[in-house]
Every structure is written in C-alpha cells, then in structure tokens.
Structure 1
Amino acid sequence: MKLALFDLDHTLLPLDSDHTWGVFTTEMGWNDPAVFSQRNDEFYAHYQAGTLDIHDYVRFATRAARERGATAAAQAHARYMDDVIRPRITPEALALVRSHQHAGDTVMIVTATNEFVTRPIAQAFGVSELIAVELERDAAGWITGEIKGTPSFREGKVTRVAQWLTQQGLDWDDVEMTFYSDSMNDLPLLEKAHHPVATNPDARLRQLATELGWRILELFQE
C-alpha cells in the first residue's frame, strides 16, 4: 500500500487552524480579547519551540466551544470554515492531495490539532482519513476538554499511525509512506517515512532537510 500523509497547519493550510479558531471565536465575543490572545500566542510559541503541553493547550483551546455548547459551536465552526478556511485552501494544495488520490494512494491528514476543529477541514480537502487529537466526551456526547487516548503530537503521531495500520491488518513493512510536514515537531514521523517532504518548512526543519537531502516543497508563500 502507498500511503500519503499530510500534516495540516502550515503544510496544507497557510495558517494554524487551532490558533485562528481561537482568534475567530474571540472576535465573536466568546473570549476576553486581551487575556485569550496573550495565552493563545504563548501556546503557539511553545508549539513552535517544541515545548507545548498538549493537554493544557487542548483544555484552553476548547474552553469557549465547550461553554457555548454543541449547537452554537457547530454553527460558529461552519462560519469559520466559510470565512477563514475555505478562502485559504489553495489550488496548489488541493492539486497535491488530488495527485496522490488519483495515483491510488491512501491519503490521510495527521494533525496535532483536535478533531472538532479539523474534521470539517479534512472534508473540505476531500480526505476521509483523519488522525487528529481525539477528545473525551461526556454522557451527553459533548467534549470535556480532555484528550482521549494518545494525542497525535510529536512521537504520538507515530503511535497513532501505527494503531491505524494495525486496524487495517498492516505493519510499517507493508506500506510505502510519503509524509509532508512543515515542522520539526513532526520529525519522529518524518524519519519513519520512505519519502519525507519538508513542506513550507520552518527554519530548523529546512536546515535538517537540506543536510539529509530530503525533498523541500514550497507549496505556498505565507
């Protein structure tokens, strides 16, 4: 099996979907602008530095939606898709995904952003297979702010892909894997890939990819 894996934020999208969701809900009046913006930027800086506590971040990032409830959150996310995400899905990113689909590859988005934010985005790309941070749900089926299972972050992406392979009755030896990512946070999975592609890479990943002779793809200019 040929497997094409894509990170999402700054790889297929020229933005961070979790960070911009926070900005969007703040503009809607769901968060205190000064306090939320400072914390949102701090978490994003920790992500870029590779020091993010993913559990603390998910509690923070889902709080406004949790408090508003499932219906209001879904309505807000639909507007977020129309106003923020769809206008930023580039023809080049779509063409890259389609090229793998047309080649018969199994295409999957593997992201450290939570499933609430990212599943509609994966659908907008026409990708049905999504590995994202799964969220615990209460008795009513609404998210609690806690993470279910292993978060798909750093080494956790390798774990989650391995779990997916096992569910398909496969092992690493059964697949030829291409992985596109912009971030050094994804180094564990990039190192597992037969074809690692540094896509719109951050400075550290660009340097490493150059040293190792990995392909570097400039999918868009941010």
Structure 2
Amino acid sequence: MIELAIYDMDRTITRTGTFTPFMIHAALRLAPWRLVFVPFAALVMVAYVLKLIERKRVKELNQAMLIGRNVAVAKLAPIAESFAEKIMRHNVRREALVSLAENRAAGRRLVLATASSRLWVEPIAARLGMDDIVATTAIKGLDDYVSHKVDGENCYGPAKLRMIEAWMGLEKLDRSQCRIWFYSDHVSDVPVLEWADEPVAANPHHDLRVEAKKRGWTIVDWD
C-alpha cells in the first residue's frame, strides 16, 4: 500500500494567501511602476466576488497588470526564490511543519496540491521537502518566457481533484492501492476531502469547520 499525504498550501501550510503578496513582491523587483495597477487588481477581485468572471481569469488579469504578459524565466526565477525565503521565514505555520515531518517519518509521499502558481510554488515546495507538486501552471513559450495565461485548469475546487487524479495517472499510482491523507483549510476542497481516505480540515474556515463536524472529519488548528 502506497501512502500519500497531500496538502493544500495557502492558509493550510501558510498563514495567509500567496498570490497577491507574490504579485507585489515581483512588481517591486521587475517594474515598481506597475503598482499603480493595484486598485484595478482589487476591482478585478470584486468582479470575481460578483461572479462576473471566473477565478482563473482573475489570476490572468492581475498577473498581466502587476508582472506583465510575458516575463523571462531568468528574471522570475531569483524573484521566486527570494519570495520563498520570505514565506519560510514569516508565513509558515510551525505546526504544519510538524505535520509534514510526521508524515515524512511515516514514509508517506508528500504532495503539495495548490491553486497557487508553479512560478512561486516550486521553490516553496523544495524548502518544505515536498516530493511532488500539483499546481496551477502558466503557459511557457519556446523562448523561455512565462505568459500571464494559465495552462489548462486553475487547480481549485473540483479541478484540483481532477488534476490530482491526472498526476496519479502519470505517476502510475493506482488509487485502489493508495491510502491518502488530505489537508485543507477551505470548503472549496470538499471534493478532494471526500475522495481522501483520511480527510483533515486544517485551520478550517467557518464553512469547512461546519462541514467537517457534520461529516466527522478530523479537525486540527495549527498555531
């Protein structure tokens, strides 16, 4: 039996989200003048809340405004590394690290499954000691530029489960031969929590806490 411990990242392992902080971190280093678009980025989020646009489009529009439509990988890589250092110093829950260490010691394969972009997830995952990543991916051109466009699905809600299952297929992992732990803070991850053998509501928001209590799922409050 193969054992997997799959973790959401934002507000599960980290205390806060990482999308907007990375956008600002990158804008300050690439082109500080782009910070004039911050109010417009807020308006884009309002449009999402009003259900005028989907979450994937929010990411594309805000990345286009704050970072640019096409940015060289060579420029983004050191920025992502410095952002990861900042996250590890100031934004990671101590007890989440304990949980990761316990699952690692138990011999479980550690997987980060997050709606955040691989642009900044990869260096964070490396520092957390993750074995694999399932994440939202930006389109990359043959000229070593990263587009603001999302390649495929945004790894959120039901799409996260589809992307995890697709990853398992690529890894030739038979679901019937796996025991899976899944940790998340948000009700959007109910499809994955239902699918997991050991669902864990970690630092759950109100709606997930209610759902977890109703279903008898484990609830943990880290830090």
Scaled to the shorter chain, the TM-score interval is 0.7 to 0.9
State the aligned residue count: 218
Equivalence for 1:197: 200
Q: Deviations over 1:26-54 (max 9, x none)?
A: 55525234x4245247538947x999723
Q: TM-score, normalised by structure 1?
A: 0.86
**Mapping for residues 50-129 of structure 1, pairs under 5 Å:** 53-63=54-64, 64-66=66-68, 67=70, 69-129=72-132
Give the aligned CA root-mean-square deviation in angstroms.
2.5
How far apart are 1:147 and its partner, in Å? 2.0
Equivalence for 2:212: 209
How far apart are 1:117 and its partner, in Å? 1.6
Question: What amino acid is aligned across from residue 88 of structure 1 in structure 2?
Answer: N
Consecutive unaligned residues of structure 2, counting only runs of 5 or more, are none
Consecutive unaligned residues of structure 1, counting only runs of 5 or more, are none
Query: How high is the sequence identity, in percent, across the aligned residues?
Result: 21
Equivalence for 2:4: 3
Q: Deviations over 1:142-185 (max 9, x none)?
A: 21222223332111111111112212323322211110000111
**Mapping for residues 169-184 of structure 1, pairs under 5 Å:** 169-184=172-187
- CA–CA distance in 1 between the matches of 2:33 and 2:87? 17
Equivalence for 1:13: 14
Equivalence for 2:157: 154
Q: TM-score, normalised by structure 2?
A: 0.86
How far apart are 1:97 and its partner, in Å? 0.6
- CA–CA distance in 1 between the matches of 2:88 and 2:47? 22
Equivalence for 1:43: 45
Change (3 A) 1:44 1:107: farther
- CA–CA distance in 2 between the matches of 1:111 and 1:150? 12
